[in-house]
Structure 1
Amino acid sequence: MAITMDKLLGIHQYTLGVRTQRAEMIANNLANADTPGFKAKGLDFQQALQQAQRGQQSYHLSRTHEKHFAVEIKPQGSEQFRVPTQPDTGDGNTVDAQLEQNLYMQNALEYQMTMNFLDGRISGVKKALGSSGG
């Protein structure tokens, strides 16, 4: 009986990638908290997860000449601008640093939970393979 990665890891292999993408986006928001005109972005987790399951990741196009632009194509819909939660301070920046820090912490905890689940699943398979090899 063959075991596929989808059967072994289930949806958790995809959630790990989406949580990584979300962490990068939140970190970018925090890094630009003082940048005038910067618009905070968020990630529609469910939509990004569905896209990951269908294999619709982002794609980096190769540059064949030094004058070509570096291009990355992302599926539409998962990355969205956040609705501001605080009044405009006059510089057009929509980053709420406290909100972003809380979201980053929540995402880090969810990432760790996913890692713990995957570790348990892989450890279980290793034990099963080790005990059946006799």
Structure 2
Amino acid sequence: MAITFDKALGVHQHTVGVRARRSEVIASNIANADTPNYKARDIDFNKAFAAAKSKQSGAMQVTNQRHIQAGRNQFSELGFRVPDQADTGDGNTVDVQKEKTAFMQNGLEYQAGINFLSSKFSGLRKAIKGQ
């Protein structure tokens, strides 16, 4: 009976990828906290997760380089955050404290995903060795 990595690793491989992308977006928000007219962005985790899962399992494949790519936009889950604070006059919607909190929470969830993947690989290693 053949086993695939999709079956062996479950959803954790997808969550880690989405969390990594979200870290980049939040870090970009923090870096642009003083940029006039910058709008804070975030990833809708549920949409990104669903897209990551479907991309792995049922994505169309191009068999010829002249075929048109069918599929979703890589950043379709990326949206703007609704600001909680009043406009400071420069049009920037980044709330640094909120971004730092989101970054920390996302980092913890990313680490949890890495830990789950590590335990899955450890189990696979034991199965291969027959332990």
Same fold (TM over 0.5): yes
Are 1:38 and 2:38 an aligned pair? yes
Equivalent position SS for 1:42: strand
Contact 1:40–1:95 under 8 Å retained in 2: yes
Which residue number corresponds to residue 80 of structure 1? 79
The Cα of 1:128 is off from its aligned counterpart by 1.3
CA distance in 1, matches of 2:107, 2:11: 18
How many residues are treated as equivalent by the alignment? 116
Compute the RMSD of aligned alpha carbons: 1.6
The Cα of 1:55 is off from its aligned counterpart by 1.2
CA distance in 1, matches of 2:54, 2:130: 35
CA distance in 2, matches of 1:101, 1:128: 41
CA distance in 2, matches of 1:98, 1:104: 10
* Runs of at least 5 residues in structure 1 that lack an aligned partner in the other structure: 57-72
Letter in 1 for 2:14: Y
* Runs of at least 5 residues in structure 2 that lack an aligned partner in the other structure: 57-72
Identical columns (%): 54
Contact 1:43–1:79 under 8 Å retained in 2: yes
Equivalent position SS for 2:87: coil
TM-score by length of 1: 0.82
CA distance in 2, matches of 1:130, 1:53: 30
The Cα of 1:33 is off from its aligned counterpart by 0.2
CA distances 1:82-124 after superposition (whole Å, capped 9, x unpaired): 0001010000000000000000000000000000011011101
CA distance in 1, matches of 2:20, 2:3: 26
CA distance in 1, matches of 2:112, 2:22: 15
CA distance in 1, matches of 2:9, 2:20: 17
The structure 1 segments of at least 4 consecutive aligned residues displaced by more than 2 Å after TM superposition are: 73-76
Q: More helix per residue: 1 or 2?
A: 2
CA distance in 1, matches of 2:127, 2:49: 30
Which residue number corresponds to residue 102 of structure 1? 101
The Cα of 1:74 is off from its aligned counterpart by 2.5
